[in-house]
Amino acid sequence: MPEHIAFIMDGNGRWGTKKGLPRTVGHAQGAKVFKKIVEYCMKIKIASVTFYAFSSENWTRPEDEVSELMKIMDNYLDELLTKFSKYDVELRFIGDILRFEEIDVKMYNKMKDIQIKTVGRTMKLNIAMNYGGRDEIINAANRAFKRNGGNIITSEMLEKELHTQGQKDPDLIIRTAGEKRLSNFLLWQCAYSEFWFTDVLWPDFNEKVLNEAIIDFSNRKRRYGGI
């Protein structure tokens, strides 16, 4: 059983388009699936779960789609505050969330409030918002370099500056909608992750599909460069 599963939730907009609906309807449905999968991961006792919700590149999408995405995320933050704050789950928003302070200070404050209220709990739930893997590594390296007085840094020093510091790297990364790339996601942390790709669009993703991925993962031999 993987201890840490990361999800690249792809295909929301395509799901809406395929059904003759606005792309934003697909994003709203994807948010519902996110909740179900988090609860299922809690049930089967996955220690850490990470979701790629909004990348730093997603700002280039049409303005009306980005605006609707922000509304969906903001509404879901309210649910996270009321529901997930009651669970034994620590929520962490990874990425440059300061960008949201400029866009919507209330939304930013909700993120900070959720993190403060849930810190120290058992299961770790990471939601990547305005996240970019390359930026994370560069920023972490700069912080580690300064903290070490401008001297050479080690991988251990850099890891302490990552958004996921203190957590195990993902054992399994799942990407939906038939795409087979990382898209700037957890580039440092994925060094020895197993990958599992499916043609299923994220709004159609469910517990059965997740179980297929976990079974496939369990049948693999992880050698970490050894024999």
What is the average pLDDT score of the chain?
Answer: 93
For residue 223, tell me if it sits in a domain: no
Q: Is residue 128 part of a domain?
A: yes
Quote the crossing angle between the two packed helices 63-82 and 23-43, to the nearest 10°.
Answer: 30
Asked whether residue 225 is domain-assigned, the answer is no
In a domain, 19, yes or no: yes
CA dist 25 and 126 (Å) reads 24
The total number of structural domains that make up the chain = 1
pLDDT the model gives residue 72 = 86
Q: pTM for this structure?
A: 0.94
The predicted structure's pLDDT at residue 68: 85
pLDDT, average across residues 163-189: 97
**Please, are residues 104 and 70 in contact by the beta-carbon 8 Å criterion?**
yes
Phi/psi for 164 (5° steps) reads -95, 15
| Active-site residue set | 10, 58
d(CA 199, CA 50): 20
- Find the mean pLDDT for residues 3-27: 95
> Do 205 and 35 form a contact (C-beta atoms < 8 A)?
no
Tell me whether residue 43 is in a domain.
Answer: yes
What domain range is 101 assigned to? 4-218
CA distance linking residue 165 with residue 162, whole number of Å: 5
Asked if the structure places residue 121 within a domain, the reply is yes
CA distance 220 to 223: 10
CATH assignment of the domain containing 91: 3.40.1180.10
pLDDT confidence band for 226 (50 / 70 / 90): low
DSSP reduced 3-state for 158: helix
The pLDDT-based confidence of 76 (bands split at 50, 70, 90) is: confident
